[in-house]
Amino acid sequence: MWQDIEQNGVQAVVARISDAEAIEMTERYGSHNYHPLPVNIVRAKGVYAYDGAGKQYIDCIGCYSAVAHGHLSEFVCETARRQLDKVTLVSRAMYTTELALLLKTVCEYTGMEMACPMNTGAEAVETAIKLARKWAYTIKRVPQDKAEIIVAAENFHGRTTTIVGFSSEPQYKQDFGPFTPGFITVPFGDIEAVERAMTPNTAAVLMEPIQAEGGIIFPPDGFMARLRKLCDANNVLLIWDEIQTGFCRTGKPFAWQFEDAKPDMICLGKALGGGLFPVAAVAGSREALSVFKPGDHGSTFGGNPLASVIAIAAMAELQTSNLAENSARMGARLADAFRNIGSEKVLDVRGRGLLVGLEVKEGVDTAELSSRFIEQGLLTKETRHRTFRFAPPLVIDAATVDEIAAKTKAALQ
């Protein structure tokens, strides 16, 4: 096998493996921590993905919002290719110009003052938690080990042991304890509950502006702005996890921008990688980010030159291609089209920009519906609350949005 790979190239060996064989190999050699759709993707371009038999799918999963630019964006790919002839990986023991420009552009894009680069979303959340706690002890003067972070029920912030410890989803935490203390859970969108939960030891409130994994759940109008005011009044940091909602997914660069709710820190990931590479970061105020001193935190791959140029290109393309505006228009078109399907199986359609949830009624066989979607050539998967998520790449056009609606109608019938 090694010689075959060396002589013919990895892609040639991959090309000889059938869809069925790939699925069998994955199940045999891989841990079973996912339950994928029975679809094996061999290539993708733009909003489309293809299996080994050549069947075309519209990718409405979009890697949970990480594929915002479409698969293989020309600009992002060209940027990566050029970097492969230059330098890709050093360490934070040295400076690189690529990281310098990434930090500046992330701050400019988010309106923040400093940033800390990471690789994955969960790492960005962990970083924000560490920053919030150190800020609480060193600036707010909370007694050692007493800092509290308020989080929402039904949250999703990633899969590390600290993060699943404050999840309210039983399966995420069952058999993985003991968990990190210091997190207080309140119902999502309940400003009075947040107020009641605040104590002199509260370091931060950490929430998603829209709970995407939770089933595309919106807080009441005005919640984000009221939360900002409440945090100000109590000297508490506001941290938005915009790993899924950020970078134009909801029709604005960030979902908090629908209200006067600018955070002290923002967690970034997914689409920051341009659909190519894991890139994540925390950006925030100088006061919050300045608490890290050399040695406090780190990541071997965080902010490497290849990741940096990809993320810079990703942000530039969002700006120059007006993808926020396209997301707003196409998302509204998709949600309207879903509402007009008029199926008795649909309970609710919720969305903002190209983050759209189609909730089906109790009693609808969601496994069966899932197979119908695949038959129709639509990739979508259920999140919580019997809600199918539609988060296609933001480069989608009106004709393809209409096609999604038509295929969804057919799948429901």
> Considering Cα of 340, then 346, then 351, then 355, what sign does the dihedral take?
negative
Q: Based on the shown chain and the rule CB under 6 A, indicate whether residue 269 belongs to the binding site for ligand PLP.
A: yes
Q: How many residues does the chain have?
A: 413
Q: How far is the CB of 368 from ligand PLP (least distance, A)?
A: 27
Q: Which residues contact 241 (CB under 8 A, 6 or more apart)?
A: 121, 125, 128, 155, 157, 206, 207, 208, 266, 267
Closest approach, Cβ 4 to ligand PLP, in A, equals 33
Rounded distance between C-alpha atoms, residue 342 and residue 412, angstroms = 10
Nearer to ligand PLP, 118 or 346 (CB): 118
DSSP string, 166-195: T---HHHHTT--S----EEEE-TT-HHHHH
Question: Do residues 156 and 211 make contact, with C-beta atoms less than 8 angstroms apart?
Answer: yes
Token digits of residue 249? 């997914």
Over the window 137 to 166, marking each residue x when it contacts ligand PLP by CB under 6 A and - when it does not, the resulting string is -------------------xxx--------
| Sole window of 238-246, 309-317, 390-398, 402-410 interacting with ligand PLP (rule: CB under 6 A) | 238-246
Using an 8 Å Cβ cutoff, are 373 and 366 in contact?
Answer: no
Piece of the chain touching ligand PLP by CB under 6 A; list 1-9, 120-128, 142-150, 390-398: 120-128
Region 185-214 residues binding ligand PLP, contact defined as CB under 6 A: 208, 212-213
Cis peptide before 178 (omega within 30 of 0): yes
Closer of 88 and 160 to ligand PLP (Cβ): 160
Closer Cβ to ligand PLP, 119 or 400, answer by number: 119
The interface mask with ligand PLP, positions 371-400, x = CB under 6 A, is ------------------------------
**Contact range with ligand PLP by CB under 6 A, out of 68-76, 228-236, 237-245, 250-258:** 237-245
Size of the site for ligand PLP (CB under 6 A): 16
Q: Is the Cβ–Cβ distance between 346 and 362 less than 8 Å?
A: no
3-state helix, strand, coil in the chain (%, to 5): 40, 20, 40
Single out the residue of 60, 63, 64, 36 nearest to residue 47, CA to CA.
Answer: 60
CB of 154 to ligand PLP, least distance (A): 12
120 contributes a contact to ligand PLP by CB under 6 A: yes
Shortest distance, CB of residue 99 to ligand PLP, whole angstroms? 19
Q: Which is nearer to ligand PLP, 122 or 412 (CB)?
A: 122
- In the bound state with ligand PLP, the residue whose beta carbon lies nearer, of 129 and 309, is 129
331 belongs to the binding site for ligand PLP (CB under 6 A): no
User: How do 237-241 and 265-268 pair as beta strands?
Assistant: parallel
Q: How far apart are CA 12 and CA 10, in angstroms?
A: 6
Q: At what angle do helices 323-339 and 398-412 cross, to 10 degrees?
A: 30
Catalytic positions, please? 156, 241, 270
CB of 95 to ligand PLP, least distance (A): 26
User: Which residues from 49-78 bind ligand PLP, rule CB under 6 A?
Assistant: 64
Can you tell me the distance from the alpha carbon of 19 to that of 179, in angstroms, rounded to the nearest whole number? 39
C-beta of 181: minimal distance to ligand PLP in Å? Answer: 21
Contacts to ligand PLP from residues 211-230, by CB under 6 A: 212-213
Q: Residue 159 CB, nearest distance to ligand PLP (Å)?
A: 6
State the DSSP code for 270: G
Binding mask 239-268 for ligand PLP (x = CB under 6 A): --x-xx------------------------
Nearer to ligand PLP, 122 or 236 (CB): 122
**Phi/psi at 87 (5° precision):** -160, 140
Applying CB under 6 A, does 121 fall inside the site for ligand PLP? yes
Spatial distance between the Cα atoms of 320 and 187, rounded to a whole number of angstroms:
38
Contact residues toward ligand PLP (CB under 6 A) are 64, 120-122, 125, 156-158, 208, 212-213, 241, 243-244, 269-270
